[in-house]
Amino acid sequence: MEIVTVVQAAGPLLVSFPHSGTEVPDSIRQRFTLEGKRLADTDWYVPQLYKFLARLPVSTVTANYSRYVIDVNRSSEGAALYPGQRETELCPTSTFADQPVYRHGELPNDDEIALRRERYWQPYHQALSAELERIKTIHGYALLWDAHSIAAEVPRFFDGRLPSLNLGTADNRSCHPRLAQDLYSVIHKSGFTSVHNGRFKGGYITRHYGDPQASVQAVQMEIAQSAYLSDQMTDQKVPELDSKKAERLSDVLMKIIVIMTCYRSE
């Protein structure tokens, strides 16, 4: 299995899928608890929500390995994204539901984390960097959309229920305010509940690569999974996609992405 899948296109937009991968090496999986093996915190079906990208001149970078192997949306040194708030580590040891990922005594040590950083984290960021540079060479600027999803209710991280669409621009530092305003205008009128720079302001990818002064505009979209997953509980490992919900959501995402692709750097 490839570490990263890259699809190149001619347009100025690059879409990043850092948390949709489900691959786990056997040497790691055999140390997981039952909760760990469920990979519950995967960004389920997110690339499928954006399947319309195949009809647009949009490049993509997709991580194929699970965030439980290593989280490519964290600093390589594991620095906190939201100081003072709870969050998971570079190599997560607990699920969002606060259940252990590893069996007792099986946590990765510093040497193993360093090896995973080299084997899985670096290739993803090398691919992102290379694609952004390629796009800037062609267009003189680059646009980055970081695509995520999360359960609508995660008491560990936030109170209550998350809005369906959560736009993050690092408090308008990762992209030009005009772009953020144009994007959120479409989102606000979409019929979905929404917020701009709420609980999720953008992770490491958005903050690290978003640099308007260097002609890279970056945003994060965090989608509440209740907006596209089935409401019915099942015993299946992978939650069920609600095709009607997903179709409605994809239509809105396409409108937002088109606005993004039309942006021209200042």
Residue 237 has pLDDT above 80, yes or no: no
The per-residue pLDDT for range 171-222, each reduced to its tens digit, is 999 999 999 999 999 999 999 999 999 999 999 999 999 999 999 999 999 9
Find the CATH number of the domain harbouring 200: 3.40.630.40
pLDDT classification of 1: cutoffs 50, 70, 90: confident
Of 146, 143, 144, residue with least CA distance to 221: 146
What's the structural domain count of the chain?
1
User: 9-50, pLDDT tens digit by residue?
Assistant: 999 999 999 999 999 999 999 999 999 999 999 999 999 999
Percent of all residues in the chain with a pLDDT value above 90, rounded to a whole number: 90
What is the distance between the alpha carbons of residues 30 and 51, in angstroms, rounded to a whole number?
33
pLDDT at residue 138 tops 80? yes
What one-letter code names the amino acid at 56?
L
Residue range(s) defining the domain that contains residue 75: 4-261
Mean pLDDT of 148-160: 94
* Residue 256 forms part of a structural domain: yes
Any domain includes 120: yes
pLDDT of 84 strictly over 70 = no
Interval 87-121: pLDDT, tens = 789 999 999 999 999 999 999 999 999 999 999 99
pTM flag (> 0.85): yes
Q: What value does the mean pLDDT take over residues 158-164?
A: 95
In angstroms, the CA 156 to CA 151 distance is 11
Asked whether the beta carbons of 210 and 175 are under 8 A apart, the reply is yes
Res. 51 pLDDT band, cuts 50 70 90: very high
**226 lies in some domain:** yes
Query: Could you give the count of Cα atoms lying within 13 Å of 173 in the half-sphere of its Cβ?
Result: 11
**Residue 138 resides in a domain:** yes
Answer whether residue 266 is part of any domain: no
